[in-house]
Amino acid sequence: MDDGMVVATHDVAHRFPGTDVLFEHLNITVRPGETVAVCGPSGCGKSTLLSILAGWEKPWHGTVERHGIGRIGWAFQNPYGVPERTALDHVVFPLLAKGMTRRAAEPQAMEALGLFDLEYAAGRRFADLSGGEAQRLMLARAVCARPDLLLVDEPTAQLDTRTVHSVSHVLGHLAGQGMIVMVATHDPDTRDACRRVIDLAEYAPRGEANA
Ligand SMILES: Nc1ncnc2c1ncn2[C@@H]1O[C@H](COP(=O)(O)OP(=O)(O)OP(=O)(O)O)[C@@H](O)[C@H]1O
């Protein structure tokens, strides 16, 4: 990881073709060690902002700087997987894609499962996981390859309060190890556990932009 690593937006605004402007004049700078909650009402553009930060979506206006960022990890809002494959298979897969052997990948994948208290489920089929287990599996898969930038979309929608606290704690711990962690969330507990909050409602256009 690069000490000078940074993710920044410079006067970013976004709208999809044929839709209103979601947010504008967004200037943020995020550095390693930070956990940032991206908040705001449903449909305000939280997931879209994460996609823009990842470079998957080009902003309608402005630029995004990703200095020193190599690997990006992403945990999706809706867990998805291959029903008959095990939880461990899902976490091993990105490591194999990175060129690791299965033998080398498995301990690293088990460590990632352990971070989210999922070792017990390593051998279970994805189809047999509960909603909360599948959601934690997405987190384990996102962090297993030790990304520089971790983008997490609604990580706690299906989790109970105690698990929310433990996931928030792990995300803070990963940031402490030098990751940049950004979390789109509605959940007040998750938001409060983050070091910084970006409220996208504050960047909603006022008046003329959507006229
Ligand atoms: N590819 C697209 N084309 C057109 N509109 C889109 C596209 N992707 C998202 N949108 C719209 O942009 C808006 C913002 O979507 P986004 O998923 O970023 O919101 P969100 O704040 O994450 O919402 P939620 O909290 O409900 O998950 C929504 O109105 C959505 O319908």
- Pairing state between β 72-75 and 23-30: unpaired
Copy the structure tokens of residue 145: 């390859």
The residues, any chain, with a CB within 8 Å of residue 79's CB and separated by 6 or more, are 131, 134, 135, 137, 138
In tens, the pLDDT along 20-33 reads 999 999 999 999 98
Q: What is the pLDDT of residue 209?
A: 47
The torsion of the CA quartet 29, 31, 36, 42, rounded to 10 degrees, works out to 40
Instruction: Please state the ipTM of this predicted complex.
Output: 0.96
Pocket of ligand 1 (CB under 6 A): 16, 19, 22, 40, 42-48, 184
Residue of 22, 186, 200 best suited for mutating to test ligand 1, as the one with most atoms within 8 Å of CB: 22
For ligand 1, atom 31, the nearest C-alpha belongs to 43
For ligand 1, atom 6, the nearest C-alpha belongs to 16
Q: What is the pLDDT of residue 208?
A: 53
Angle value at C-alpha 35, between 180 and 110, nearest 5 degrees: 70
In tens, the pLDDT along 46-84 reads 999 999 999 999 999 999 999 999 999 999 888 889 999
For ligand 1, atom 18, the nearest C-alpha belongs to 45
In tens, the pLDDT along 98-115 reads 899 999 999 999 999 999
Q: What burial class does residue 65 get, using C-beta atoms within 10 Å of its C-beta: 0-12 exposed, 13-18 middle, 19+ buried?
A: exposed
In tens, the pLDDT along 173-198 reads 999 999 999 999 988 888 888 989 99
The three-class DSSP label of residue 100 is: coil
For ligand 1, atom 27, the nearest C-alpha belongs to 42
* DSSP 8-state secondary structure symbol assigned to residue 198: E
